[in-house]
């Protein structure tokens, strides 16, 4: 049995839950509103932008902040989507059912992670197609758009991994959501104070999500940013696997 | 006439063997040196009061929990390696409430690695065997307790395991459903080894051919059902005496 089988079951369950659809509906409505606001601000700024062809364009002014908004929204959505992943399942003995069917802790955690990641990536795809409807009428920077999309996808994956890990460590889904929200916000705001004062953020800056997202939103994909997101994902999932594996000993 | 070479009888390992299985949890010994075997065709009842260690024993057999020491083997191999030979139904049947009965069975078949055609025929077989045809397209979350138990059994039987592990199968069932369960276990018994837990002697008497009595994590009695009455009286008297002297 592979992690994909578990992911498939969980995706099917997500697809029939009103909670997931409600969450997706609210997220898309908010993103559509953000997009309209962005386009409106861009249109109003048009006459005052000197040398419009050479300055910051549609991608910089509308798409990059728009995708950043989605990532910020995921700071809240990811904990809500992942809170039930392992916390609720353990109490209902559904993790035991998977274990009895021969799934080890790695496959269980990976399957749960993949299902939720696919859900939020599908949302990201829908969110990303909104600005594309204006592509024929604007000078879209496809490179910058692609870089921003990759970084957003990786950042969302990191948030889902953190949520999955929090869900593994507590039996209460609400507690898991609160912990994931706190960690996500902490990683997002850890260097905010130093950034506001304009000082050197140092290692605090390296820990912050924003540090690794901002270059990609400007069109620059750096290997150190990709490595950062991969480290967060692997670390969170490894902790979750360790915890689920320990359930066999703890009972 | 040349003498016939002496043929050594080949001893087949028992279907299930527990060898000095112990489990400690937080410094407390939940199970202590449990040893017993189960052969194909036997229905073994684990009897004991609440907290005697019945569910823990069954979870260890099913590979859900790890023993602190000792070993569990199925067909002579470690139970954790031969999950495909074990079907487990815990006391609270784990179902996916958002899925229909057919979808849940299909998911279980996938988890067990059954290919599409095998899965389809296995689902049809279990729906018919457990009389679940009328509920096939109903959500698991909308089923009654008895129906949920039957779906749990169907999940456990889908991959045709040799060993069935049932934790308190009669719990919460009405008399009609309990009678149906007894009939079903009677039908399954010849081709399987079945181990079930209960704290209801009448239920065990109706379903089992052998009884193991657990008390505070230890085997107090392992006997065929026919011998149970006299031994039970002695066992319960001994346990009652122990508890009385401890209280004094």
Quick: pLDDT tens for B119-170.
999 999 999 988 899 999 999 999 988 889 899 999 999 999 999 999 998 8
Give me the residue from A8, A100, A250 closest to B62, CB to CB.
A100
Query: Do the beta carbons of residue A160 and residue A183 sit within 8 Å?
Result: no
How many other C-beta atoms can be found within 10 angstroms of the C-beta atom of residue B149? 25
B195 to chain A, minimum CA–CA distance in Å?
16
**Total domain count, chain B:** 1
The answer to whether B92 contacts chain A (CB < 8 Å) is: yes
What phi, psi does B5 have (nearest 5°)?
-65, 140
Q: Spell out which residues of chain B touch residue A12, defining contact as CB-CB under 8 Å.
A: 98-99, 103, 107
**How many angstroms separate the CA atoms of B220 and B48, rounded?**
10
Give me the residue from B56, B66, B111 closest to A98, CB to CB.
B111
Strand order in the sheet with B77-78: B28-38, B16-25, B69-74, B77-78
Q: Is B72 helix (H, G, I), strand (E, B) or coil?
A: strand
Beta bridge partners of B163: B86, B193
How much is the average pLDDT of B186-193? Answer: 88
Q: In terms of residue numbers, what domain contains B219?
A: 16-92+162-247
When scoring B31, B89, B111 by the number of chain A Cβ atoms within 10 A, the one with the most, hence best to mutate, is B111
Are A8 and B110 an interchain contact pair (Cβ–Cβ within 8 Å)? Answer: yes
Query: Residues near A47 by Cβ (< 8 Å), separated by ≥ 6?
Result: none
| Closest to B188 in 3D by CA, of B74, B111, B103, B89 | B89
B10 is a domain residue: no
Are B111 and A16 an interchain contact pair (Cβ–Cβ within 8 Å)? Answer: no
Q: Is B96 helix (H, G, I), strand (E, B) or coil?
A: coil
B112 is a domain residue: no
B136 is a domain residue: no
Which residue would you say has higher pLDDT here, B191 or B37? B37
Domain of B187: which CATH number? 3.40.50.300
**How many angstroms separate the CA atoms of A20 and A119, rounded?**
9
Give me the residue from A1, A16, A251 closest to B25, CB to CB.
A251
pLDDT of the residue at A148: 94
Question: Residue B122 corresponds to which tokens in the numbers above?
Answer: 């296995």
Taking all residues of chain B, what is their mean pLDDT, rounded to a whole number? 85
When scoring B22, B94, B109, B153 by the number of chain A Cβ atoms within 10 A, the one with the most, hence best to mutate, is B94
The pairing of beta strand B163-167 with beta strand B86-89: parallel
The pairing of beta strand B16-25 with beta strand B28-38: antiparallel
Q: Is B183 helix (H, G, I), strand (E, B) or coil?
A: helix
**How many angstroms separate the CA atoms of A145 and A52, rounded?**
19
A105 to chain B, minimum CA–CA distance in Å?
11
pLDDT of the residue at B14: 86
The answer to whether B65 contacts chain A (CB < 8 Å) is: yes
When scoring A17, A21, A96, A100 by the number of chain B Cβ atoms within 10 A, the one with the most, hence best to mutate, is A100
Residues of chain A contacting B, Cβ within 8 Å:
1, 5-6, 8-9, 12-13, 16-17, 92-94, 96-103, 248-251
Are B94 and A92 an interchain contact pair (Cβ–Cβ within 8 Å)? Answer: yes
B101 is a domain residue: no
Q: Spell out which residues of chain A touch residue B83, defining contact as CB-CB under 8 Å.
A: 100-102
Are B59 and A96 an interchain contact pair (Cβ–Cβ within 8 Å)? Answer: yes
Give me the residue from B66, B96, B111 closest to A103, CB to CB.
B111
Residue of A nearest to B115 (CA): A1
B179 is a domain residue: yes
**How many angstroms separate the CA atoms of A246 and B3, rounded?**
59
Q: Spell out which residues of chain A touch residue B98, defining contact as CB-CB under 8 Å.
A: 12-13, 16-17
Q: In this model, does residue B1 exceed pLDDT 50? A: no
pLDDT of the residue at B46: 92
pLDDT of the residue at B231: 65
**What percentage of chain B carries pLDDT values higher than 90?**
41
pLDDT of the residue at B247: 60
B177 is a domain residue: yes
Residue of A nearest to B80 (CA): A102
Q: Going residue by residue through chain A (251 aa), what tens digit of pLDDT does each one get?
A: 589 999 999 999 999 889 999 999 999 999 999 999 988 888 887 765 555 454 568 888 889 999 999 999 999 999 999 999 999 888 788 888 888 887 889 999 999 999 999 999 999 999 999 888 888 878 888 899 999 999 999 999 999 999 999 999 998 999 999 999 999 999 988 877 767 777 676 777 888 888 899 899 988 889 999 999 999 999 999 999 999 998 877 66
Distance of CA B35 to the CA centre of its chain: 16
How much is the average pLDDT of B176-198? Answer: 87
Q: In this model, does residue B4 exceed pLDDT 50? A: no
**How many angstroms separate the CA atoms of B88 and B196, rounded?**
10
How many other C-beta atoms can be found within 10 angstroms of the C-beta atom of residue B85? 18
Query: Do the beta carbons of residue B15 and residue B74 sit within 8 Å?
Result: yes
B130 is a domain residue: no
Helices (H), B85-227: 101-111, 116-129, 145-157, 175-188, 201-207
The answer to whether B131 contacts chain A (CB < 8 Å) is: no
pLDDT of the residue at A113: 97
**How many angstroms separate the CA atoms of B228 and B232, rounded?**
6
Are A16 and B99 an interchain contact pair (Cβ–Cβ within 8 Å)? Answer: yes
Q: Spell out which residues of chain B touch residue A5, defining contact as CB-CB under 8 Å.
A: 110-111
**How many angstroms separate the CA atoms of B110 and A97, rounded?**
13
pLDDT of the residue at B2: 45
Residue of A nearest to B55 (CA): A251
B131 is a domain residue: no
pLDDT in tens, B25-59: 877 888 989 999 999 889 999 988 888 899 999 99
* H or E stretch covering A152: helix A142-169
A17 to chain B, minimum CA–CA distance in Å?
7
């Amino acid at each position: 049995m592979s992690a994909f089988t578990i992911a498939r079951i969980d995706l099917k369950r997500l697809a029939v839950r009103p909670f997931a659809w409600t969450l997706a509906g609210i997220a898309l409505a908010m993103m559509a509103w953000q997009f309209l606001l962005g386009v409106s601000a861009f249109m109003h700024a048009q006459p005052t932008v000197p040398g419009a062809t050479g300055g910051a364009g549609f991608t910089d002014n509308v798409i990059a902040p728009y995708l950043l908004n989605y990532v910020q929204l995921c700071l809240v959505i990811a904990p809500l989507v992942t809170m039930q992943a392992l916390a609720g399942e353990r109490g209902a003995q559904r993790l035991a059912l998977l274990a009895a069917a021969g799934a080890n802790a790695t496959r269980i955690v990976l399957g749960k992670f993949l299902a939720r990641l696919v859900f939020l990536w599908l949302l990201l795809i829908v969110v990303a197609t909104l600005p594309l409807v204006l592509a024929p009428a604007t000078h879209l920077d496809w490179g910058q758009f692609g870089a921003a999309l990759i970084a957003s996808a990786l950042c969302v994956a990191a948030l889902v991994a953190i949520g999955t890990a929090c869900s593994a460590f507590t039996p209460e889904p609400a507690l898991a959501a609160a912990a994931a929200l706190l960690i996500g916000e902490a990683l997002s705001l850890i260097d905010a104070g130093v950034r506001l004062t304009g000082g050197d953020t140092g290692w605090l800056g390296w820990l912050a999500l924003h540090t690794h997202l901002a270059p990609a939103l400007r069109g620059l994909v750096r290997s150190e940013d990709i490595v950062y997101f991969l480290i967060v994902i692997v670390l969170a999932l490894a902790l979750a696997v360790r915890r689920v594996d320990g359930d066999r000993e703890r009972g | 006439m040349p003498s016939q070479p002496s043929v050594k009888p080949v001893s087949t390992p028992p279907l299930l063997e527990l060898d000095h299985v112990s489990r400690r949890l937080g410094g407390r010994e939940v199970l202590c040196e449990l040893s017993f075997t189960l052969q194909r065709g036997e229905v073994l009842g684990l009897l004991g009061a609440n907290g005697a260690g019945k569910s823990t024993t069954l979870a260890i057999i099913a590979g859900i929990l790890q023993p602190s020491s000792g070993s569990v083997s199925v067909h002579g191999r470690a139970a954790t390696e031969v999950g495909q030979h074990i079907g487990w139904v815990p006391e609270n049947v784990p179902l996916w409430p958002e899925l229909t009965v057919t979808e849940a069975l299909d998911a279980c078949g996938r988890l067990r690695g059954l290919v599409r055609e095998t899965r389809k025929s296995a689902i049809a077989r279990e729906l018919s065997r457990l009389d679940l045809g009328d509920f096939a397209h109903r959500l698991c979350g909308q089923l009654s307790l008895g129906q949920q138990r039957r779906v749990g059994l169907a999940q456990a039987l889908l991959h045709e395991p040799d060993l069935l592990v049932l934790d308190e199968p009669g719990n919460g069932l009405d008399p009609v459903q309990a009678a149906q369960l007894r009939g079903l276990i009677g039908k399954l018994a010849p081709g399987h080894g079945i181990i079930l837990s209960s704290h209801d002697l009448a239920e065990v008497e109706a379903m089992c051919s052998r009884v193991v009595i657990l008390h505070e994590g230890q085997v107090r009695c392992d006997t065929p059902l026919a011998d149970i009455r006299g031994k039970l009286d002695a066992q319960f008297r001994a346990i009652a005496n122990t508890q009385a002297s401890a209280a004094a």
